[in-house]
Each structure stands twice: as structure tokens, then as C-alpha cells.
Structure 1
Amino acid sequence: MTSLIQILLLILDVVWFIMIAHIIMSWLINFNVLNLGQDIVRSIWYGLNNLLEPIYGPIRRFLPQMGGLDLAPLVALIAVYALRIVLINNAGAFV
């Protein structure tokens, strides 16, 4: 059972890093450091969007409209970290 918890923690870590990459890339695009006119930037951006939209979509429907501010990535990061904490703290119950 410990292996299953470690696999779940690995998946949460991968999701965490993908979300961090998406957030940093959105900042770089908004501050015109990266340009979506470049093929590699555009393909990475749309790939990250397609990966994370199933996570962000339900959160965006739940949150109120904040104008141009999207809080879905922040809520998702907190949720992933909270799941990680719950798994680590309850790992002893599964042994």
C-alpha cells in the first residue's frame, strides 16, 4: 500500500510542476517576454492549457468572476498541496 501512496504523491508532484510551469509561462506571455507568434511557445502554451483545463474548468465555474484575474490556478495549487498533505499524514493508516 505504501507504493500506491508514493505513486499518488508522484502524480501530485508532476501536476504541481506542470501548474507552476503554466503559471510562469502565463506571466512571461503577459509581460511580452514570450511571444505566442513563435511556434514552439504556442505549442507548449496550448499543450499546457489542454492539460490543465480539466482541472481549472470546474474551479472557474465555482469561483465568481474577478474581471481579468483568474484565481483558478491558485485554488488548484492549494488543492494539490492539500491532497499531498492529507496523503502524507494518513499514510500510516494504509499500512
Structure 2
Amino acid sequence: MAVRPPQQGDDEPESLEFGIAALDPYLSEANLTFPATSDEIVRALGDPAIPYDANDNTVALSEALAAVGQSQFESEREFLDALHPVLEEYRASGGGLFSQLRALLPF
């Protein structure tokens, strides 16, 4: 009978951030002040791919902002509040048929 060796490293599970929470590192490192336009935000953050679900599906910030329907944001909170429903819609849609099939495969 064999016993597994103890795992190395920390015991805390890795967390996966998606949605507006995934933007925190970009916002904290960017030289961005508000009020700001969508174009200024995309330039300052580098148009990152934002994960919108736990399956690691992503959408470009510029694409998500195009769906917001607002181009000027008075504060970071207003920006995040406007972006949240768009990312939730992406999450709810499941990323399309291809993403759903890929999620079912074991590899």
C-alpha cells in the first residue's frame, strides 16, 4: 500500500478572477485618471483580454466597451458599473457553441 507524498507549496487553492474583478490589476498599474473616454481606457490598460467566466473564455476590453454604449466615464466606479452587465451577458451566453463543446471535452 502506498501513501501519496505531501503536496509542496501553499495549501490555499488558486482563485480565478473574471469579469470586472479581472481588471483590478490593470487599473492599479495603469496611469489612468477619470473622467476618461473608452479610447483612453483601452490605451491606458493595453486592451487586455478579460476573462468573463470560470472556463477562461475572454473578450477584448475594446470589444466589451463597444457593447457598453457609453464612451465617457466620470469615475472608475461608473466605468466598472457600465462594463459589468456586458461581461455578465457574455458569461450567460456561454461564449457560443464552440466554447460549450470545448468545455465538455476532457482535454
Q: TM-score, normalised by structure 2?
A: 0.34
Tell me: higher relative CO, structure 1 or 2? Use CA pairs within 8 A at least 6 residues apart: 1
Q: Which has the higher helix share?
A: 1
Q: Which has the higher strand share?
A: 2
Structure with higher Rg: it is 2
